[in-house]
Structure 1
Amino acid sequence: MLKKLYAHSIKRKLILAIAGLHAVLMTIFVIDLVHRQQSFLMQESHVSTSGIAKTLAANSTPWVLSNDLVGLEEIIRSQDQQPNFQFAMITDSNGKILAYHHSKNHTKDLIGKSIKIEPLDIALKNKELAIFSDTKTKIDVAAPIKVNDSLIGWARIHMARDNIYDSIRVISIEGILYTLFAILIGSIFAWRMGSNLTKGIYELIHTTQRVRAGERKITLSLKRKDELQILSDNFQSMLTSLSEKERELYAEKERLEITLMSIGDGVITTDMDGLVTYLNPVAEHLTGWSNHAARGFHIEEVFKIYHELTMDPAENPALKSMATQKITLLANHTVLLNRAGEKISIEDSGAPIIDKSGKIIGAVLVFHDATEARQLRKRLTWQAQHDTLTQLANRQAFETKLDDLISKSIDSPQNQHCLIYIDLDQFKIVNDTVGHAAGDELLKQVASILQQQVRDSDLLARIGGDEFAIVLENCSTSNAEQVAEKVRQVVHNHRFTWNDRIFDIGTSIGIAQMKGLINKANVMSQADVACYIAKEQGRNRVHIFKEDDQVLAREFNNLDWANRIKRAIEDEQFVLYAQKITPLQHIEANETYEVLIRLQPPEGELIFPDQFLPAAERFNLMGELDIYIVKRAYKWLKNNFNNVKLLNINISGQSLDDDKFNNALLELLEKDSKINQKICFEITETTAITHMSASISFLNRIKNHGCSLALDDFGSGFSSFGWLKTLPVDYVKIDGTFVLDVLTDSVDAAMVKAIHSISEEMDIKTIAEFVENQAVSDWLKETGIDYAQGYHFSRPNPLINI
């Protein structure tokens, strides 16, 4: 590693760079110097030789004029003293040699001979010296000999230039020596500078290796005054910051691990290939795999999930979340098959783990044991669809089944379905004679008898106080009549005994067929009319609805309850009662009441709502009745304003859909906003869900007038908690069926606590209904319920007496 590092080290590169730079620069300098020196010596040689030639020409003039060859020879011989002299000659104007002398060859054979005159002619023409040769090794020139501008001859001289090359060679050798010396000095300087520089760098490298090995307690200072010291200081600061961040990350990791180990849900993480990377203790317990053993295994091997009913493999949420890049919830009815082969009902979700760049690097799976919750949900689902007294299907389940068969009847007209409507005769006598407990026992016995007379495909439901219905699927009218007759007979044969008293019970039964474009309201009305006709014809009998019965039905509708209710409204026979709503958590200065309604005929006993409200709903009279109640309650509240905190008034679902009622109510609320602040309107949960669009619109409009809102019978519908987020209510009245047995039924107690907990989170006050003793009241108070209502605190009393 160090050898590889040295081969590319800054020090080595610096030495080579500086040495190479010196070599290049000195080489350029020497070459330039040699070239300049050579040019200078060549020029100097040319000038010197030309001067000698001119001097020789001047000195030879008189001798040429006198044609004294001996004198000319002496003059030429005198040039032998010139350095680098080769030969000299004097010619006449035509180039004939008059005198000649060579430094080495002293022959006279050339006297009288002629030289080539072309250079002489060119020189004469250009008025300059004649150049016979001018090379790197020699120079040969001739100067004209003139008298009064007349050419009488030429003085020629030839010089060698060997001395120039000797001088250039010396200069070159000296230049090379200087170059080598410069390279040596530069390399030494580069080595010293590189050593000084790389010493700090190697110290930094050594320090980074120590950091990489895990060491953190390092103090680094190069004690320099250059950029390396700044780098050293920055590195020390970075190292300190790194140590702090590592401590923080370690603490966060410890905190996260403790959190994952402490939470009640199982947590499994995977990499992007679906291989397990972590299991927390809960996940270890539920899957049967340890964290160590599961690592590296595929998630589908560790987390095996199946559909609860079919045991078909279920899609793994962790893998699906990575594929869809979204949080994925586990499908309902999923079980985990752990390593021991045990089945555990679970609920979970998977989410992709995404890094800062947006790349999916794995997934996290969060799940918990939902066995108990699923059993509770099943029980709550069952309770939402069944009557708590008789354990039969309730009205909600009955109407759902009815809607389903009506749809099937429309799609497949060839299939026949029937509805049997059963009303107990003389049931009121049992209630009035031996009490409601006896009536409840009678209803349970009758339910048991009826249950034995229906097929598994049929639905038997309790739809009212003493009213039952049987929905017969794929059954003709004749077969339905046989079933109804059998029911009538077994009930008639039954003897109900209570406290040594024996009661004969009969039934009036109506049958209606589902055919054509019939709707739920029509088929129920037909069965009701048929039952009414059975009663009118002497009770304890079966009647099948026929088209001819419409006349009698209209007569019944017009002459009986419809007229009776309308007349009671006109004659103000309906009287207002009120029941106190008691605060549990604190004392309030004024009382809160719920307004109730009773029918008081001029002659006869007081009639309770369960006897006339179904008829009012059946004949669409609830809007008139509700506005009647609101107006009188409003009037009473104005007279007792200072003595009441809040007055609760019930509104039916039918009224919510009645534009006439809505307009009348809004007109009343617009009169006095001060009164509105002490009015709370109650609607039942079933009504709110059934009339959702109308409910939200209505509730928001009356809220704008300052009124409060309460959701009555909360918990009777299975989707209760979901609707709480939608409906803008201030109070939740917990269904009394949950409150009655909170001390003995853990499911009811859990339901009440759940309703209170959710309501408290949403800043909604809770009111418990049907509180009948102090023990239940104490339990509700301890649970945190805000208000309670029931016979334990007060019975309903006429509003006028309060």
Structure 2
Amino acid sequence: MKPRKWHHSIKSRLILAVALLHAILMTIFVTDLVHRQQSFLVEESTQSTMGIAKTLATNSIPWVLSSDLAGLEEIMRSQSQQPNLVFAMITDKHGKIIAYHHKEVETSQHIGKYINSDILDKASQNLELAIFQDSPREIDIAAPITVNNALIGWARIHISRKHIFDSIQFITIEGLLYTLAAILIGTFFAWRLGNGLTKGIYSLISTTQKVRAGERDIKVSMDRKDELQTLSNNFQAMLNNLNNKEKELFSEKERLEITLKSIGDGVITTNKDGLITYMNPVSEVLTGWSNFAAEGIHIEKVFKIYNETTMEPAFNPALRSMQQQKIISLTNHTVLINHAGEKISIEDSGAPIVDNKGEIVGAVLVFHDATEARQLRSKLTWQAMHDTLTDLYNRQAFENRLEQLIERNLEDDTLQHCLIYIDLDQFKVVNDTVGHSAGDELLKQIATIMEKQVRESDLLARIGGDEFAILLENCNVEHAERIAEKIRVAVFAHRFIWEDRVFDIGTSIGITLFQGAMSKANIMSQADVACYIAKEQGRNRIHIFREDDQTLNQEFSTLDWVNRIKRAIENEHFMLFAQQVIPLQKESDKKSLEILVRLEDEDGQIITPNQFLPAAERFNLMWRLDMYIVEKSFQWLKIHADKIERLNINISGQSLNNDAFIESLLEILAKDPKINSKVCFEITETIAITHMSACISFLNRIKHQGCMLALDDFGAGFSSFSWLKSLPVDFVKIDGSFILDVMQDKVDAAMVRAIHQISDEMNIQTVAEFVENKEVSDWLAATGIDYAQGYYYHKPSPLENIDF
């Protein structure tokens, strides 16, 4: 430590300040005292001299009037007793000395001489004192001698003030001695005070030096009651806190170093200039540099990275993070060339290190070996775009390429591309006859055959179970047809043998040309329709989509309905209608309704079910439509349950055989069981008989949830009576064909009565449909039919418009 100058210490400054203060104060005091004393003594001397002069003037009057020199001489000798007298004289009014006394000079030498008449002349004008001299060392005054205000002479006294000067000098010396004594005493006490103050400070200084040297287990003790004790206590608390924090920091550092050494990522830290300050073991292995060798070296020399594709130098994320003052996320396609020249695929990221002032002081780089990960990613990418069974492109890859071609067509509408859609004709036979393993082997063999017939630029994909598609880029219809024909012939010529069984396989192929602005859905739809027609026309043939083909137009219209139905479900364009079911044998203040469905098109027109249900049934969409109706019906019923006696919902045959529909329906029923008793599901007689096993299973599961069941369109086949007792239904809905002519056709009337009687015996209630007038309504009530519905009572209307 550099030695401190004496005047830089608090103790020295305190002593110096006290000494200086005492010196200044005592100097002021002594100076003031001397000045006052001097003024007092001089004033006293002046007054005394004046008094002597006036007394001498008074005593001299008779002697001056009589010109008695002897008497005047006697008076002069009497003045010799005056202390500090230098001389005394009496003059006439003209300044001529007539009597004189000097303590050292011969008197006779001055008798008869004249003194300075100017001073006397001036003073005689007002008969006032004449002052010849008034200085700190002497005073010389003349008093007028008057008789009846007439000047007759002057009495002059000259007094020495040397005694005053000597007295003032003595006082001054004495004051200086007192000042010196005060300075010494003050300095002593300042030394004592400073010593006591700085002793504690030096103790703290010594402690800080020990702390600086690394000591921590130090006790700071002061037996004081002043601020230094408070400072000492605070310093001890600070030292204890520092000790604890350092222990925590050391532990944290140890944990951090253990963590950095144990983690699987490489970690490199740098200072703000990019010089390496630390490398963990993983980074040492990956870079080929040791922490010792790399310390202080610029990071770009140790961490050399390049673009994996172009091998151009890549930016260093640590340096970039400091430049941009933010975290640089993981970068892909980066390769590290280590100290040994090896190439390692890595993923890296950098982040700036910021101090408590927000200033960047360095960066941390984190990276890891991504070689296996990238190999796995490449493998997964390949798998994501390829069919696992045939190794052909899958539907995702096919649609991606199709979208690319569509975008190119938008840029250049002269380009022509073709899509070949292929469906195997006998695949289901193979699967059902010899099993799925045989079916899988067949698909592999067919894929190999097709690959041999296409160009390298063509994309062959398996897009479904036994469906394949080929995208022919920059290809016209004629060339696409030749390729399709080669595939058809090659596949048909192939004999598939499995377990000594031989199968002939055919292909139904549809071709469509797409040029200009066309949507992916439209292109796929055209190819699908063309393939469907090829299959409908006898299989193992090719059909090309053309705009003027009537057969295609019919099929395309059907497929268009499929898309419309899907969009309507997704966009909730299907509307729920309802028709009231009227009780004929009792009164009820609650309503019974049958849910019906309509489709609202883009123009707001209502489309009836006979236009869209055939397409929904043909393309297996009924279960989705049924689920849509069930969900919306239950949402409405939850709100109006207290006003409804029964809500009838129709279920199609497809839904009965669809596990996804049944599971979803059971989930809905389980959510709010208290309203299940108000729900009645309807299935047609034909469905019940055709899917008897599935129907009975479904009805039992639904009954178990508390719902009611109805058999719709009952009576179309009289043999159904034999099945009625096997079905756990609550209602039979008599087919409307019997009700329309019941008043004119006795057979229809007999059928209605028979159905009612048999149902009544089985405790099943009957419902008559298609009631259009009062006459039929009255006959049904008289016959005992329980419920009726039809235009006579209520025409179907939107469910939301039902009045209560």
TM-score normalised per structure 1: 0.69
Instruction: Tell me the distance in 1 between the aligned counterparts of 2:518 and 2:560.
Output: 24
Instruction: Tell me the distance in 1 between the aligned counterparts of 2:442 and 2:344.
Output: 42
Deviation at 1:409, TM superposition (A): 1.0
Change (3 A) 1:798 1:467: farther
Q: How does 1:300-449 map to 2 (within 5 A)?
A: 300-449=300-449
Deviation at 1:471, TM superposition (A): 0.5
| Residue of 621, 625, 638 corresponding to 1:627 | 625
Q: Verify the 8 A CA contact 1:561 1:615 in the aligned structure 2.
A: no
2:474 is aligned to: 474
Deviation at 1:164, TM superposition (A): 2.6
1:552 is aligned to: 551
1:263 is aligned to: 263
SS at match of 2:3: helix
Change (3 A) 1:561 1:91: closer
Instruction: Tell me the distance in 2 between the aligned counterparts of 1:559 and 1:166.
Output: 143
Instruction: Tell me the distance in 2 between the aligned counterparts of 1:345 and 1:36.
Output: 101
Instruction: Tell me the distance in 2 between the aligned counterparts of 1:618 and 1:473.
Output: 36
Change (3 A) 1:496 1:464: same
1:214 is aligned to: 214
SS at match of 1:3: coil
Instruction: Tell me the distance in 2 between the aligned counterparts of 1:268 and 1:616.
Output: 65
Deviation at 1:460, TM superposition (A): 0.8
Instruction: Tell me the distance in 2 between the aligned counterparts of 1:668 and 1:443.
Output: 49
Change (3 A) 1:112 1:405: same
Deviation at 1:68, TM superposition (A): 1.4
Q: Verify the 8 A CA contact 1:420 1:470 in the aligned structure 2.
A: yes
2:185 is aligned to: 185
SS at match of 1:194: helix
Deviation at 1:136, TM superposition (A): 2.5
Q: Verify the 8 A CA contact 2:34 2:168 in the aligned structure 1.
A: yes
1:274 aligns with 2:274: yes
Change (3 A) 1:293 1:75: same
1:643 is aligned to: none
Deviation at 1:419, TM superposition (A): 0.9
Deviation at 1:160, TM superposition (A): 2.5
1:589 is aligned to: none
Change (3 A) 1:797 1:520: farther
Deviation at 1:663, TM superposition (A): 6.1
Deviation at 1:515, TM superposition (A): 0.8
Instruction: Tell me the distance in 2 between the aligned counterparts of 1:706 and 1:130.
Output: 136
Instruction: Tell me the distance in 1 between the aligned counterparts of 2:381 and 2:311.
Output: 23
Q: Verify the 8 A CA contact 2:95 2:114 in the aligned structure 1.
A: yes
SS at match of 2:335: strand
1:463 is aligned to: 463
Post-superposition CA distance 1:557-601 (Å, at most 9, x none):
5689979x99xxxxxxxxxxxxxxxxxxxxxxxxxxxxxxxxxxx
Identify unmatched segments of 5+ residues in structure 1: 567-612, 635-661, 676-698, 708-794
1:31 is aligned to: 31
Post-superposition CA distance 1:710-746 (Å, at most 9, x none):
xxxxxxxxxxxxxxxxxxxxxxxxxxxxxxxxxxxxx
Change (3 A) 1:629 1:65: closer
Q: Verify the 8 A CA contact 2:545 2:552 in the aligned structure 1.
A: no
Instruction: Tell me the distance in 1 between the aligned counterparts of 2:474 and 2:623.
Output: 40
Change (3 A) 1:33 1:528: same
1:799 aligns with 2:798: no
Superposed CA RMSD in Å reads 3.7
Change (3 A) 1:279 1:559: closer
Q: Verify the 8 A CA contact 1:627 1:665 in the aligned structure 2.
A: no
SS at match of 1:60: helix
Deviation at 1:2, TM superposition (A): 6.2
Deviation at 1:216, TM superposition (A): 2.1
Post-superposition CA distance 1:745-798 (Å, at most 9, x none):
xxxxxxxxxxxxxxxxxxxxxxxxxxxxxxxxxxxxxxxxxxxxxxxxxx9995
SS at match of 1:218: coil
SS at match of 2:546: coil
1:754 is aligned to: none
Question: Identity, % of aligned pairs?
Answer: 63
Deviation at 1:446, TM superposition (A): 0.6
Q: 1:261 corresponds to which letter in structure 2?
A: K
Identify unmatched segments of 5+ residues in structure 2: 566-611, 647-663, 673-693, 702-804
Change (3 A) 1:46 1:630: closer
1:717 is aligned to: none
Instruction: Tell me the distance in 1 between the aligned counterparts of 2:697 and 2:628.
Output: 15
Change (3 A) 1:18 1:118: same
Q: Which structure's CA Rg is the greater one?
A: 2
2:781 is aligned to: none
Change (3 A) 1:618 1:545: farther
Q: Which moved more, 1:528-537 or 1:490-499?
A: 528-537
Post-superposition CA distance 1:543-565 (Å, at most 9, x none):
3322222x2112235689979x9
Deviation at 1:94, TM superposition (A): 4.1
SS at match of 2:267: strand
Q: Verify the 8 A CA contact 1:85 1:103 in the aligned structure 2.
A: yes
Change (3 A) 1:668 1:368: farther
Deviation at 1:341, TM superposition (A): 3.5
Q: Verify the 8 A CA contact 1:346 1:370 in the aligned structure 2.
A: yes
Instruction: Tell me the distance in 2 between the aligned counterparts of 1:427 and 1:237.
Output: 87
Deviation at 1:230, TM superposition (A): 3.4
SS at match of 1:418: strand
Q: Verify the 8 A CA contact 1:97 1:112 in the aligned structure 2.
A: yes
2:241 is aligned to: 241
Q: Verify the 8 A CA contact 1:41 1:164 in the aligned structure 2.
A: yes
Instruction: Tell me the distance in 1 between the aligned counterparts of 2:22 and 2:116.
Output: 53
Post-superposition CA distance 1:408-435 (Å, at most 9, x none):
0121122221111112233333233323
1:158 aligns with 2:57: no
Change (3 A) 1:478 1:10: same
Post-superposition CA distance 1:315-339 (Å, at most 9, x none):
2222222222222212223333333
2:97 is aligned to: 97
SS at match of 1:471: strand
Instruction: Tell me the distance in 1 between the aligned counterparts of 2:697 and 2:285.
Output: 61
